[in-house]
Amino acid sequence: MSDSPLAEAIRSEIDAAVVSLETGARLWAQLTVAQRSQLLERVRMTVAAVADEWVDAASRAKNLDPASPLRGEEWLTGPYVTLQALSAYRRTLTSLAAGGSPLDGVSTGTAPGNRLRINAFPAVPLDHLVLSGFRGEVWLQPGVSLDDARAHAGLAQRHPRESHGIGLVLGAGNVTGIPILDALYELLAAGRVVLLKLNPTQDGLADVFTRALAPLIEPGFVRIVTGGGDVGAYLTQHPGIGHVHITGSAATFDAIVWGGDKERADPALQTPITAELGGVAPIIVMPGAWSDADLRYQAEHIATMRLHNGGHNCVAGQVVIISRDWHLREKFLEVLADAYRDAPHRTPWYPRSDEKLATARNDYPEATWSADGTRALVDLLPGEAHDLEMTEYFAPVLGVVELAGSGQEFLDAAVAHANNKLVGTLGANVLIDPATEATLGAGFERAISDLHYGGIAINTWTGVVFATPVLSWGAFPGGTLGDVGSGLGVVHNALLLDHVERSVLRGPFRPFPRSASIDSVRHGQFSVIARPPWFVTSRTADRVGEGLTKFQTDHDPLRLARTLALAMRA
DSSP per residue, 427-465 = EEEEE--HHHHHHHTHHHHHHHHHS--SEEEESS-HHHH
CA 82 to chain centre: 12
Task: Compute the CA torsion angle 471, 148, 124, 527 (nearest 10 deg).
Answer: 60
Buried-exposed string 513-527: b where 16+ CB fall within 10 A, e elsewhere: ebbeeebbeebebbb
Q: What is the pLDDT of residue 3?
A: 43
Is residue 520 scored above 90 in pLDDT?
no
Please tell me the least confidently modeled range out of 32-46, 257-271, 289-303, 476-490. Answer: 257-271
Q: Of 223-232, 305-314, 459-468, 524-533, which range is least confident?
A: 524-533
Its CATH architecture, for the domain 281-423, is 3-Layer(aba) Sandwich (3.40)
pLDDT of residue 263: 84
Q: What is the largest CA-CA distance in the chain?
A: 72
- Is residue 74 a contact partner of residue 55, using CB atoms and an 8 Å limit? yes
Q: How far apart are CA 177 and CA 184, in angstroms?
A: 11
pLDDT (mean) for 312-332: 97
DSSP state of 405: -
pLDDT one-digit tens code per residue, 188-223? 999 999 999 999 999 999 999 999 999 999 999 999
Whole-angstrom Cα distance, residue 81 to residue 61? 19
- Residue 263: burial class (beta carbons within 10 Å; 0-12, 13-18, 19+): exposed
- When mean pLDDT is compared across 9-13, 126-130, 323-327, 519-523, the lowest value belongs to 519-523
Q: What pLDDT is attached to residue 563?
A: 96
Q: What ranges do the domains of the chain cover? A: 16-102+153-276, 281-423, 526-570
Mean pLDDT over 511-538 rounds to: 90
Task: Please report the sign of the dihedral spanned by the C-alpha atoms of residue 487, residue 208, residue 467, residue 299.
Answer: negative
The larger pLDDT score, comparing residue 521 to residue 274, is at: 274
The distance from CA 508 to its chain's CA centroid, rounded to whole angstroms, is 20
Task: Supply the pLDDT for residue 384.
Answer: 80
**SS3 sequence, 341-360?**
HHCCCCCCCCCCHHHHHHHH
Q: State the pLDDT at residue 1.
A: 39
The mean pLDDT of 341-352, rounded to a whole number, is 95
d(CA 48, CA 51): 5
Give 354-402 pLDDT, tens digit per residue: 999 999 999 999 999 999 999 999 999 877 889 999 999 999 999 999 9
**What pLDDT does 382 receive?**
77
Provide the H-helix boundaries in 133-176: 146-152
* Nearest alpha carbon to residue 244 among 169, 164, 156: 169
Residue 104's pLDDT is 97
pLDDT class of 2 with cuts at 50, 70, 90: very low
pLDDT of residue 521: 87
Q: What pLDDT does 6 receive? A: 52
DSSP secondary-structure letter at 310?
Answer: G
In the structure, what pLDDT confidence band is assigned to residue 173 with cuts at 50, 70 and 90? very high
- Is the Cβ–Cβ distance between 512 and 528 less than 8 Å? yes
What does CATH list as the number for 16-102+153-276?
A: 3.40.605.10
Edge to edge, the sheet with strand 375-380 lists 108-111, 115-121, 135-140, 500-506, 455-458, 427-431, 281-285, 317-323, 397-403, 375-380, 368-370
Fill in the DSSP letter of residue 475.
Answer: P
Contact assessment for residue 535 and residue 304, using Cβ atoms and an 8 Å cutoff: yes
Average pLDDT, the chain: 96
- In what helix (H) or strand (E) does residue 323 lie, and over which residues does it extend? strand 317-323
pLDDT tens-digit series, residues 57-93: 999 999 999 999 999 999 999 999 999 999 999 999 9
Asked if residues 398 and 320 have their Cβ atoms less than 8 Å apart, the reply is yes
3-state SS assignment for residue 207: helix
End-to-end, the C-alpha distance of the chain in Å comes to 51
Mean pLDDT (whole number) for 269-276: 97
Q: What is the mean pLDDT of residues 111-122?
A: 98
User: CA–CA separation, 481 vs 338, rounded Å?
Assistant: 42
- What would the pLDDT profile of 17-58 be if each residue is shown by its tens digit? 999 999 999 999 999 999 999 999 999 999 999 999 999 999
